[in-house]
Each structure stands twice: as structure tokens, then as C-alpha cells.
């Protein structure tokens, strides 16, 4: 609608306030989780600690490192906990550009997007981490022993888990793109080979290290999600293109 159109400055102002609200939500999560930051870090480090050789343990190499690590843990938890608020603010920002019938999807979008984000983070933590850490620590021997620092581990874990959380949003994004008619299953199938190349590049960029295993652990789930997205868009378009049922004739 014409009256809904806003000038660029108003869009920028709207974006600024949406970002401010997201930061406020993250700040609330940060403050609420700081008192439990040590326990949270121990839980976050448990997949690594459980597979570390006997005698190995996490260390910190500078006096303030542990303090700042716990601060980062609290920020990370605040970011994860505020995911529903972030998705809601994202939807409210793009909502003026949607049709009236599309705006009612706000609650399903927030719920499903949060669910897929949590699934991605959980998959990375409970499935990928134990396998990956066991592989990496397999290089330890009598003369080489792993003593990873708290800062290095947390940086690795944050980037990896966030990468999984974001990439698991692919079916959600494709669902709404299919709803708006931007993509369809035919196009996705036709460009599958390009998707494989893009996934390889994305996995190489998002994974914290240059090792092939990390890239595979992230890239393979993305390809699976891409295939799921093809079916999602197919079902959406099939339902959208379905003809209206003919009215029954009167007896």
C-alpha cells in the first residue's frame, strides 16, 4: 500500500530501534547469566573435557583471561536466549514490505525460526563436538599433550555453534521465499551443483579452523538442509497452485 511506504531515513531509524531492542534483550540475558557463567562454561566445555587425555586440562595464559572468558560466556548465553526477540524484531522490520496475508505468519515464524536455531546449536554441541574433539585430540601422544586455553576454546565453540544455528535456518528462509514466489523447487534442483560449491565456500568461511573435518561436519548438514528446502518449497508451491475444489452440486 502506498501509505505504508517510508523514506530511506525512516527505514534506517526503524532499523536502529530494532537493533537497540535486540541489544537490550541480549543485555538482559547477559546480566541474568553472569552469576552462573562458571557453571555455564564448564557445561559448554564438557564435550572437550570428556575426551581429553588423562592429565590434560583447560588453561588460561594471562591473568584476566578467565574473567573475560566468563564475560564472553555470559554474552553468548544472552545472545542465544534472546533469539526469539531477535527473530521477532527481524520480522517487524521486514513486515511493511509484506502483503497483509503474509503478515500473520509472525508467530509461526518466531517459533519455527527459534526451534531450528536451537536444533542447529544442539546438533553442533551434542553431535559434532564429541566427534570433532575426539578426532583432534587423537594426535596426542607421550610427547605431545593438549592444553587448550579457555579463550581459544570459547572462541571456537561460539563461532561453530552460531554457524550451525544460522545454517539450520535455511528451510525456514526457503519456506517464506517460496511463499512469496521468489524461489521454487525446480530452480533449487536445477542449481544444486552450484549450491554444493557455495556450501563448500560457506563451510570454509564459517568454520574456525582450516581443517577438512570441521568443514565436512558443517557442510554435510547444510547440504541435507538444502535437500529438505527443495521439498519444503515443492510442498509450498504445490499447495499454493492447487486449484480450488469445485462446489458440490445440490442433491
Q: Stretch 47-73: mean pLDDT, rounded?
A: 89
Q: Could you tell me if residue 245 is inside a domain?
A: no
Q: Stretch 221-228: mean pLDDT, rounded?
A: 89
Max CA separation in the chain (angstroms) = 89
CA 129 – CA 118 distance, rounded (Å): 15
Q: Could you tell me if residue 115 is inside a domain?
A: yes
Higher pLDDT, 23 or 137: 23
Instruction: Clarify whether residues 157 and 193 are in a common domain.
Output: no
Angstrom distances, CA of residue 240 to CA of 124, 181, 236: 34, 10, 6
Instruction: Clarify whether residues 71 and 184 are in a common domain.
Output: no
Nearest to 196 by CA among 230, 221, 223: 223
Instruction: Clarify whether residues 67 and 180 are in a common domain.
Output: no
Higher pLDDT, 8 or 36: 36
Q: Could you tell me if residue 80 is inside a domain?
A: yes
Instruction: Clarify whether residues 187 and 154 are in a common domain.
Output: no
Instruction: Clarify whether residues 204 and 116 are in a common domain.
Output: no
Instruction: Clarify whether residues 99 and 59 are in a common domain.
Output: yes
Average confidence score pLDDT of the chain: 84
Residue that finishes a domain, picked among 166, 182, 199: 166
State pLDDT tens for residues 4-29.
555 667 778 888 999 999 999 999 99
pLDDT > 90? residue 126: yes
Q: Could you tell me if residue 26 is inside a domain?
A: yes
pLDDT > 50? residue 248: no
Higher pLDDT, 97 or 63: 63
Which pLDDT does position 209 carry in this prediction? 56
Q: Could you tell me if residue 246 is inside a domain?
A: no
Nearest to 128 by CA among 202, 215, 205, 57: 215
- Quote the domain boundaries for residue 206: 169-239
Nearest to 175 by CA among 126, 235, 242: 235
Instruction: Clarify whether residues 155 and 177 are in a common domain.
Output: no
Instruction: Clarify whether residues 153 and 188 are in a common domain.
Output: no
Angstrom distances, CA of residue 72 to CA of 5, 19, 68, 150, 201: 40, 20, 6, 11, 28
**Domain count across the chain:** 2
Q: Could you tell me if residue 11 is inside a domain?
A: yes
Per DSSP, 127 falls in state I
Which pLDDT does position 77 carry in this prediction? 96
Beta-strand ranges (E) seen in 129-194 are none
Residue that finishes a domain, picked among 135, 166, 197: 166
Instruction: Clarify whether residues 209 and 230 are in a common domain.
Output: yes
- The three grid cell numbers given for residue 218, joined into one nine-digit string: 558443517
pLDDT > 90? residue 249: no
CA 203 – CA 201 distance, rounded (Å): 5
Residue that finishes a domain, picked among 166, 182, 203: 166
Q: Could you tell me if residue 248 is inside a domain?
A: no
State pLDDT tens for residues 146-190.
888 999 999 989 988 998 999 899 999 888 888 777 788 888 888
State pLDDT tens for residues 70-94.
999 999 999 999 999 999 999 888 8
Instruction: Clarify whether residues 29 and 97 are in a common domain.
Output: yes
Instruction: Clarify whether residues 28 and 147 are in a common domain.
Output: yes
Amino acid at each position: 500500500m502506498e501509505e505504508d511506504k517510508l523514506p530511506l531515513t525512516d527505514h534506517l531509524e526503524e532499523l536502529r530501534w530494532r537493533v537497540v531492542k535486540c541489544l537490550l534483550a541480549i543485555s538482559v540475558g547477559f546480566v541474568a547469566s553472569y552469576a552462573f557463567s562458571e557453571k555455564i562454561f564448564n557445561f559448554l566445555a564438557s564435550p572437550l573435557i570428556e575426551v581429553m587425555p588423562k592429565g590434560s586440562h583447560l588453561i588460561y595464559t594471562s591473568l584476566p583471561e578467565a574473567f573475560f572468558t566468563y564475560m564472553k560466556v555470559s554474552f553468548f548465553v544472552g545472545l542465544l536466549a534472546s533469539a526469539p526477540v531477535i527473530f521477532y524484531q527481524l520480522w517487524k522490520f521486514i513486515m511493511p514490505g509484506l502483503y497483509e496475508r503474509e503478515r500473520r505468519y509472525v508467530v509461526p515464524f518466531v517459533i519455527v525460526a527459534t526451534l531450528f536455531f536451537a536444533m542447529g546449536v544442539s546438533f553442533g554441541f551434542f553431535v559434532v563436538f564429541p566427534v570433532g574433539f575426539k578426532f583432534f585430540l587423537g594426535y596426542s601422544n607421550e610427547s605431545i599433550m593438549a592444553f587448550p586455553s579457555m579463550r581459544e576454546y570459547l572462541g571456537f565453540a561460539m563461532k561453530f555453534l552460531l554457524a550451525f544455528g544460522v545454517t539450520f535456518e535455511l528451510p525456514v528462509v526457503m519456506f517464506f521465499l517460496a511463499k512469496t514466489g521468489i524461489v521454487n523447487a525446480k530452480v533449487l534442483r536445477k542449481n544444486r551443483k552450484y549450491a554444493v560449491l557455495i556450501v563448500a565456500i560457506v563451510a570454509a568461511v564459517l568454520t574456525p579452523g582450516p581443517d577438512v573435518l570441521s568443514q565436512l561436519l558443517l557442510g554435510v548438514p547444510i547440504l541435507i538442509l538444502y535437500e529438505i528446502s527443495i521439498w519444503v518449497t515443492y510442498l509450498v508451491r504445490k499447495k499454493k497452485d492447487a486449484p480450488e475444489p469445485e462446489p458440490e452440486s445440490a442433491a
